[in-house]
Amino acid sequence: MIGTTVQEMLLENQHNFLVPAENVASLMYSNPLDHALLVLSKVGYSKIPVLDKDDRFVGLIGLNDIVGKMIDLRKIDTDNLAGLTVADVMEIGVDYAKEDAQLEDVLHLLVNNAFLPIVNSKRIFLGIVTRKEVLKATNHLVHELEKRYELVAKSEKKKDKLFVV
């Protein structure tokens, strides 16, 4: 469990955590795969959210997913994308969080994800929380904590060792 003081300090700039949906590159699951390749190439991200026609989050698509369809044993062929849609290669069952998720749950999910899609109760895509923004908040915390509080160790054992064997 995250302590109250630490959580308050981490959340001081929480307004920066969510990148709103309108500022996030995304694709529709029905988009042609060659269009997805173009979008991913232009935005410079390795993965982006995939939405349905009602703006509900349904998965992620990445360059690797598309390139995998273009490669055969001898060559790379963009013609292999003909007739395929985002739905044919997107990742489903990926991590996401609801808008009322607890900070601790979001932190756990960001360990293995560069960003976390955020949805409402109807799974409407609201935006993303990036690991980068949470790390900025963590950086703020570690620089400010001892300026604001006097910390007293609960135990003198193992106090100055980064790694204890």
- Pick from 12, 2, 10, 24: nearest CA to 117: 24
pLDDT at residue 156 above 70? no
Print the domain residue range for 10. Answer: 4-148
Predicted local confidence at residue 152, as pLDDT: 85
Asked whether residue 162 is assigned to any structural domain, the reply reads: no
Asked whether residue 159 is assigned to any structural domain, the reply reads: no
Asked whether residue 98 is assigned to any structural domain, the reply reads: yes
What is the number of structural domains in the chain? 1
The predicted-structure confidence for 121-150, as pLDDT tens digits, reads as follows 999 999 999 999 999 999 989 998 888 888
* Contacts of residue 17, Cβ cutoff 8 Å, sequence gap at least 6: 129, 133, 134, 137
| CATH code of the domain covering residue 90 | 3.10.580.10
pTM of the model: 0.85
Predicted local confidence at residue 70, as pLDDT: 87
Predicted local confidence at residue 165, as pLDDT: 62
